[in-house]
């Protein structure tokens, strides 16, 4: 939402970037097309006298298609979007896809470890992995910070505020970890 770019970023756009943007615009239109088709399958009960459950989906689908098509045209004619700025965003570097992939991987691992390891350890894992991916060195300090953070949140939210975060098999039965 910030509009701080007064030009430089837009000028050095690599042609590769257009592809991703084109895909996003086309995906918007495609989603709209899907919504239009799928809306026809929504069951309309006989009791509906005027506007049934299909009308609004048709409207939304049409809006998606319209916006998507306009955006495809805009991208093809070279009017690319202005990516968001921010304090910690370096407008001169190119997207580091490896970081994106690893951060997503860390989150997915977190999802599947909550019930296995317990929340505090899954949280420590997520924090440490994300911090190291983002450049924290040495790794064991990040791991330590993550472990402390996970346990503190468990005690404060699980123990004091009564949020039922699963402490996991290792900490099962420790009284102050559960609300």
Partner 1 sequence: MDNLAALLEGFTTVLHPVYLLYALFGVFVGTAVGVLPGIGPAMAIALLLPLTYTLEPTAAIIVFAGIYYGGMYGGSTTSILLNTPGESASIVTAIEGNKMARAGRGAAALATAAIGSFVAGTLATVALTFLAPVVARWAVQLGEPDYFALMVVAFVTVGALLGSSVPRGLAALSLGLFLGLVGTDTLTGQQRFTFGVPNLADGIDVVVVAVGLFAVGEAVYVGSRMRHGPVHVIPVEKGWRTWMRRDDWRRSWKPWLRGAAIGFPVGTIPAGGADVATFLSYASERRLAGPRRKEFGKGAIEGVAGPEAANNAAASGVLVPLLTLGLPTTATAAIIIVAFQSYGIQPGPLLLQSQSALVWALVASLYVGNLMLVVLNLPLVGMWVKVLRIPRHYLYAGILLFGALGSYALNFSPVDVLLLVVVGLVGFFMRRYGYPVAPLVVGMILGPMAEDRLRRSLAISQGDLAYLVTSPFAATAYAAIAVLLAVGLWLRRRERAQEVTTN
SS3 41: coil
Q: How far apart are CA 131 and CA 143, in angstroms?
A: 9
71/177 with CB nearer partner 1:
71
- Show Cβ contacts of residue 35 under 8 Å, excluding neighbours closer than 6 positions: 57, 60, 61, 64
Residue 89 found at the interface with partner 1 (CB under 8 A): yes
155/157 with CB nearer partner 1:
157
SS3 40: coil
For residue 123, what is the DSSP state?
H
Residue 84 found at the interface with partner 1 (CB under 8 A): yes
Residue 20 found at the interface with partner 1 (CB under 8 A): yes
137/173 with CB nearer partner 1:
137
> Could you say which residues in the range 38-77 bind partner 1, by CB under 8 A?
38-39, 42-45, 47-53, 55-57, 60-61, 63-64, 66-68, 70-71, 74
Tokens of 8: 């430089």
Name the minimum Å distance from CB 114 to partner 1: 5
83/155 with CB nearer partner 1:
83
Tokens of 20: 């991703």
Q: How far apart are CA 2 and CA 71, in angstroms?
A: 20
88/175 with CB nearer partner 1:
88
Name the minimum Å distance from CB 170 to partner 1: 18
> Could you say which residues in the range 111-170 bind partner 1, by CB under 8 A?
111-112, 114-115, 119, 123, 126-128, 130-136, 142, 145-146, 149, 153, 157, 161-166
CB contact at 8 A, 118 and 171 = yes
Tokens of 145: 């910070």
């Amino acid at each position: 939402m910030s509009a701080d770019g007064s030009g430089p970023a837009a000028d050095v756009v690599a042609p590769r970037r257009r592809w991703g943007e084109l895909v996003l615009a086309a995906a918007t239109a495609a989603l709209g097309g899907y919504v239009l088709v799928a809306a026809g399958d929504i069951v309309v009960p006989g009791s509906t006298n005027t506007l049934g459950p299909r009308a609004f989906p048709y409207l939304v689908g049409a809006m998606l298609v319209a916006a998507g098509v306009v955006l495809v045209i805009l991208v093809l004619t070279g009017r690319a979007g202005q990516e968001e700025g921010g304090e910690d965003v370096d407008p001169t570097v190119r997207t580091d896809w490896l970081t994106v992939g690893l951060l997503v991987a860390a989150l997915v691992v977190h999802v599947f470890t909550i019930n296995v390891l317990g929340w505090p350890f899954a949280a420590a894992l997520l924090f440490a992995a994300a911090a190291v991916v983002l450049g924290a060195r040495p790794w064991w300090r990040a791991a330590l910070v993550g472990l402390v953070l996970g346990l503190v949140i468990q005690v404060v939210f699980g123990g004091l505020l009564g949020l039922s975060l699963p402490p996991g098999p290792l900490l099962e039965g420790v009284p102050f970890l559960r609300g």
